[in-house]
Amino acid sequence: MTLKEQVEAIAAEWVGRTTGPGEPLEIERGAIRRYAEAIEDDNPLYRDPELAAASIHGGIPMPPGFLITAMRSGGERDFQIPLPVSRRIRGEDELEFLRPVVAGDTLTAQTRITGIEAKEGKSGFFVVIQTETTYYNQRGEAVLINRAKVIKR
């Protein structure tokens, strides 16, 4: 069986599987501030509680890329997909914000595998894993959807 055929067989078994809700994450004010500093975003909403409370967010908002680095669950790593490749790189993230997320919220994640595809490139064989992770707040409301692609070689 070729590598491509192996991946196609794995895809037939794994696409559509879900995991979650995963480990909860409390969105902490200090973590938001440190993240904003790390990405050099000087928006005062990430640092000033009074300004943030008076904004449309009603509190210190979570920066857009925060969950990708802070959440321990959510994504293809929640699965043990037996692929014939091991090296991993994040390929793409599409974030769809449904509701504001502010400091003090607690989020959980549920991930679904939406695609697994074998490809051949200039540097050789690789696999693209596509996932869709929905993040829920402490009230069970969907607040964010992350559609991601991970490349494994």
The pLDDT tens digits for 67-94 are 888 887 777 778 889 988 888 998 899 9
Report how far residue 54's alpha carbon sits from residue 57's, in angstroms, rounded to the nearest whole number: 8
Residues paired with 112 in a beta bridge: 18, 132
Predicted TM-score (pTM) of this structure? 0.88
The Cα–Cα gap between 12 and 24 comes to 30
What percent of the chain clears pLDDT 70, i.e. is strictly above it?
100
**What CA–CA distance (Å, rounded) separates 75 from 106?**
18
Confidence of residue 54 (pLDDT cuts 50, 70, 90): very high
The CATH topology of domain 3-27+73-152 is Thiol Ester Dehydrase; Chain A (3.10.129)
pLDDT in the model for residue 102? 96
Identify the residue whose tokens are 């595998």.
113
Mean pLDDT of the chain: 92
**In the structure, what pLDDT confidence band is assigned to residue 111 with cuts at 50, 70 and 90?**
very high
Per-residue model confidence (pLDDT) at position 137: 97
Looking at residue 65, what is its pLDDT?
Answer: 87
Which one, of 148, 127, 144, 128, lies nearest residue 136 by Cα?
Answer: 144
Q: Which pairing describes strands 106-121 and 124-136: parallel, antiparallel, or unpaired?
A: antiparallel
The Cα 151–Cα 153 span in angstroms is: 7
Q: Kindly tell me if the per-residue pLDDT of 147 is higher than 90.
A: yes
- Least Cα distance to 100 among 146, 135, 151 occurs for 135
